[in-house]
Amino acid sequence: MADKTILVAGTYDTKDDELSYLAEVIRGQGGNVLTMDVSVLGDPSQPADVSKHDVAEAGGSSIRVAIGTGDENTAMQIMGAGAAAKALELYRAGSIDGVIVLGGTMGTDLALDMCAALPVGVSKYIVSTVAFSPLMPPERIPADVQMILWAGGLYGLNSICKASLSQAAGAVLGAARSVEPPKRDRPLIGMTSFGKTVLRYMVTLKPALEARGFEVAVFHATGMGGRAFESLAAEGAFAAVMDFAPQEVSNHLFGGLSAGADRMTNAGRSGMPQLVAPGCYDLVDFVGWQEPPAQLRGRETHAHNRLLASAMLVAAERRQVAQAICGKLATAKAPVAVLLPVGGCNEWDRPGAPLRDGEGLAAFCDEMRVCCPETAELHELDCHINDAEFSAKALEILDGWISSGVVNPG
């Protein structure tokens, strides 16, 4: 089992002992190690396999330039870009199977870029003094990264921080040994949704798509799920997408759980056909145990659980969401079909349900009709998004794309 190699990265000028300990634990468990120094000013006690000069050069710069900036933030961004490029280069060359990065706020900032550069399925671990902190926005967190708090380890080794470091070393090596990477032996459809209490189309669509030869990945669109979806879309991983829960666009507009400003753009930019519907467009999610964002206070809300709550948008805000969605779709480089179920877009807004707002729904649908780009097909459906007619129409459109060669089922 000594065939897995872990890249151990960090600022060796200040954290040599801690990084060397990580490498020692990995080797002690039969793993192999490559070391990467991302420091700027000092030098490690022993030369790293990937030197700080290699890293800076991979970032399109040099250590001399990084030092010459006179600004630690700018210097570390140079090193972050280089570390990301170098890690991806090593992975593509088959030289590493996973990566572990250690740092405080500076090292964590760099680690997020470095891990984000690696594909889903590559083992990634960050040991950080700010793990799980709100300092890290969802759009910076890689889809399948693991983190552990570097407790009591800001400066020097001790028994407290060794407990964290040794767990992390074992975790990244164990993950590299046990991971089953995505096979990509069937074309993949990416779908966004929420749980079956609010959106149900995936129950019908997933087996129907699998019967057509596709693999289906359903992403929970609560910020991080949208990030994973967008990350894979940017890689070109999908044969097509069914982006039926773009609520994160609403979240980003109105201060909710954002998946980033690029939500709903990467599939179109990468040339993937998109089927789009406005599932839960009318709700903005926020942290349930905190006060709602200021602009959402005093309005109808739904407490989904102790972690998550949602606030309803009014008619004018729903028009803004429609404009934002259509603006993003207008940039797509492949076919787009928009399904507009005029009977409602989540289970809680059916006629008679507690979050029904007929005026708001009508305003949204009206704005979608006005703003939908000419490059997209608008299919207005006299049904609710959870009705069988909605899923049937989605499959009908996809089958048409398969017949015309727009989508290849493999």
d(CA 164, CA 175): 16
Residue range 120-173, pLDDT digits in tens: 889 999 999 999 888 888 778 888 899 999 888 778 889 999 999 999 999 999
Confidence of residue 238 (pLDDT cuts 50, 70, 90): very high
The answer to whether 189 and 216 have CB atoms below 8 angstroms apart is: yes
CATH 3.40.50.12020 domain locations along the chain: 5-178
Supply 68's token pair.
């010459």
For residue 293, CA distances in Å to 70, 255, 273 come to 38, 6, 35
pLDDT reported for residue 2? 54
pLDDT reported for residue 409? 85
The answer to whether 39 and 14 have CB atoms below 8 angstroms apart is: yes
Residues in contact with 396: Cβ distance below 8 Å, sequence separation at least 6, in sequence order: none
pLDDT(366) > 70: yes
Q: Which fold would CATH assign to domain 188-404? A: Rossmann fold (3.40.50)
For residue 169, CA distances in Å to 5, 28, 53, 100, 209 come to 12, 10, 26, 8, 40
The answer to whether 18 and 157 have CB atoms below 8 angstroms apart is: yes
Residue range 191-213, pLDDT digits in tens: 999 999 999 999 999 999 999 99
Residue range 379-401, pLDDT digits in tens: 999 999 999 999 999 999 999 99
Share of the chain above pLDDT 70, in %: 100
Residue range 27-62, pLDDT digits in tens: 999 999 999 999 999 888 899 999 999 999 999 999
Q: Which fold would CATH assign to domain 5-178? A: Rossmann fold (3.40.50)
The answer to whether 371 and 323 have CB atoms below 8 angstroms apart is: yes
Radius of gyration of the chain from Cα atoms?
Answer: 24
For all residues of the chain together, what is the average pLDDT? 93
Average pLDDT over residues 352-372: 95
CATH 3.40.50.12030 domain locations along the chain: 188-404
For residue 84, CA distances in Å to 164, 234, 260, 274, 286 come to 24, 16, 20, 30, 31
Nearest to 172 by CA among 113, 122, 135, 215: 122
d(CA 264, CA 276): 9
d(CA 373, CA 352): 33
Residue range 342-361, pLDDT digits in tens: 999 999 999 888 889 999 99
What's the sign of the alpha-carbon dihedral 398, 399, 402, 408? positive
Reported as half-sphere exposure (CB side, CA atoms, 13 A), residue 107 has a value of: 28
- Using left for φ > 0, alpha for ψ between -120 and 50, and beta otherwise, residue 54 falls in alpha
pLDDT reported for residue 321? 98
d(CA 410, CA 380): 30
Residue range 171-189, pLDDT digits in tens: 999 999 999 877 778 999 9
Supply 118's token pair.
């690696």
pTM of the model: 0.84
d(CA 355, CA 122): 42
d(CA 301, CA 310): 5
pLDDT(335) > 80: yes
- CB burial readout 48-72, b (16+ within 10 A) else e: bebbbebbbebbebebeebeeeeee
Q: H/E/C letters for each residue in the chain?
A: CCCCEEEEEECCCCCHHHHHHHHHHHHHCCCEEEEEECCCCCCCCCCCCECHHHHHHHCCCCHHHHHHCCCHHHHHHHHHHHHHHHHHHHHHCCCCCEEEEEECHHHHHHHHHHHHCCCCCCEEEEEECCCCCCCCCHHHCCCCCEEEECCCCCCCCCHHHHHHHHHHHHHHHHHHHHCCCCCCCCCEEEEEECCCCCCCHHHHHHHHHHHCCCEEEEEECCCHHHHHHHHHHHHCCCCEEEECCCHHHHHHHHCCCCCCCCCCCHHHHCCCCEEECCCCCCEEEEECCCCCCHHHCCCCEEECCCCEEEEECCHHHHHHHHHHHHHHHCCCCCCEEEEEECCCCCHHHCCCCCCCCHHHHHHHHHHHHHHCCCCEEEEEECCCCCCHHHHHHHHHHHHHHHHHCCCCCC
Average pLDDT over residues 73-88: 95
d(CA 76, CA 106): 7
Question: Strand pairing of 336-341 and 301-303?
Answer: unpaired
